[in-house]
Amino acid sequence: MAFSLRPVDGAFYQLFSESAQHLVKGSALLAEMFADGTDRAAKAKEMREAESAADRTTREIVQRVNKTFVTPFDREDIHDLAYRLDDVMDEMEKAADLINLYEVAEFPAEFAKQVDLIQRCAELTAAAMPRLQTLDVDEYWLEIGRLEKAGDKSYRRMITKLFGGQYDAIEVLKLKDVVDTLEATINAFETVAKEVEQIAVKES
């Protein structure tokens, strides 16, 4: 592996970890939004702040990659990984916004399970970022793949429930919009994992 021979700028691993930590924070906020008696408007505001913080980290990575002579892996890949992490945050922020705006009295229990999956994805991603340095990331992206498959199954169950006749059309519209955004969040984690896999294959 060509990797260990390069003078490596360790700051990138630090920044990617920081970026993933924003996602851990965001997924925790999402989970809190489904708890009883939460002030959802307050949580949505916290989420917007978390999203701004994530934006700043992304910008820092992009500026550093363009100023650094020797990067630990391909410039293009650093850039793409930074933006793919940022995309996850954008989906989370959208989900929080919708949950707040739609004023749904009570979400079906399956929704919280989907958010559990999101939290596990965030934690796995945060744990994997420092391991980019040794390319010990196979177990990470395989596990994200498994969580994504679990998310798909859970998505299908939720859709079946939504259209089961229990909800009126306006409620279906609201709930489906939230479900779709939660699913997009998990898919965005999978896109991050595919980018990491590609970096590992290339560098190993």
The residues that touch a copy of itself, with contacts defined as CB under 8 A, are 62-63, 66-67, 76, 79, 97-98, 101-103, 156, 159-160, 163, 168-170, 172-174, 176, 198, 201-202
Nearest Cα neighbor of 115 from 84, 147, 142, 83 is 147
CB of 182 to a copy of itself, least distance (A): 15
Token output for 188: 């965005």
Closer of 4 and 67 to a copy of itself (Cβ):
67
**Burial degree of 146 (CB within 10 A; 0-12, 13-18, 19+):** exposed
CB of 48 to a copy of itself, least distance (A): 9
The residues near 109 (Cβ < 8 Å, ≥ 6 apart) are none
Q: Is 103 helix (H, G, I), strand (E, B) or coil?
A: coil
Closer of 126 and 190 to a copy of itself (Cβ):
190
Closer of 63 and 134 to a copy of itself (Cβ):
63
CB of 80 to a copy of itself, least distance (A): 11
Question: Read out DSSP for 132-178?
Answer: GGTT--HHHHHHHHHHHHHHHHHHHHHHHHHTSSSS-HHHHHHHHHH
Token output for 163: 């259209």
CB of 21 to a copy of itself, least distance (A): 22
Closer of 18 and 51 to a copy of itself (Cβ):
51
CB of 66 to a copy of itself, least distance (A): 5
Closer of 131 and 157 to a copy of itself (Cβ):
157
